[in-house]
Structure 1
């Protein structure tokens, strides 16, 4: 991920929120595209009381990382820490400061300790058919930086989505959908 791609993702999210007049945001709190929701909310594009970040693990008590379970070889907290460390390293961001700012301003954090796929369902299940929408970013699946809209019934394969997490969330979303390829 480059800083220019990161900034284009932010602009694409902000554009879609304004164009569709979305007033609420739900996201997975993961590094990269999901972290855009936190930044958009902290910037005032969405009000904090209308923002929910669904996490696959609890944040630690000082909000500097995710709680890791050493006995779990598929530990979502460890995976999330690794991805957020890469985000910080590649883009020079402090994602946990962004989390702290989000929470302090009244943003909602929802934790589902059953893993990433359970977290994905927490993101998309509350979405309403025509009032809400899903924006998915993926790599290498279509024309770069063209945001395509899809009907609620369109599955991930028909939209050209790759990646297991994005594909899983998209398959369970029953709302308007948009997809943008990052490269």
Structure 2
């Protein structure tokens, strides 16, 4: 029950994250394309227009435009990287949590099962049937007595304690 819940939560978290990532990436790509197109067009326009006026002006203006392009591209790239990193971290954290919980559950169960020793069933002693005595006794209605249950504190036996110590000594934990 526990594990199923975790996997469901994981899936529920993962889908919106994926959708958000896709949307963000698409938006960023569109923005980059638009910016690049605009800047390139601008550069061409500047170059074409200014060539007639003066070469020096062209050089200066192109440089300015190039700087703008670099800045825009850098900003966009940084934004994309940040978004991707955040998303990856979220997904990984969710995944790791789920995987860890699952693994621990399985390991603990296996360890417990391995460490359990099968208890031997005690044979019940047969009661002797003293038929003659029973015949002579009068039939009595049995009275059920309600007894208050006491929780018995069980002290560990000396033998068990020593074996435990030995195990600790051998295994080292």
TM-score by length of 2: 0.18
Please identify the structure whose Cα radius of gyration is greater. 2
Of Structure 1 and Structure 2, which has the larger fraction of its residues in helix?
2
Of Structure 1 and Structure 2, which has the larger fraction of its residues in strand?
1
Higher relative contact order (CA 8 A, sep 6+): 2
TM-score by length of 1: 0.17
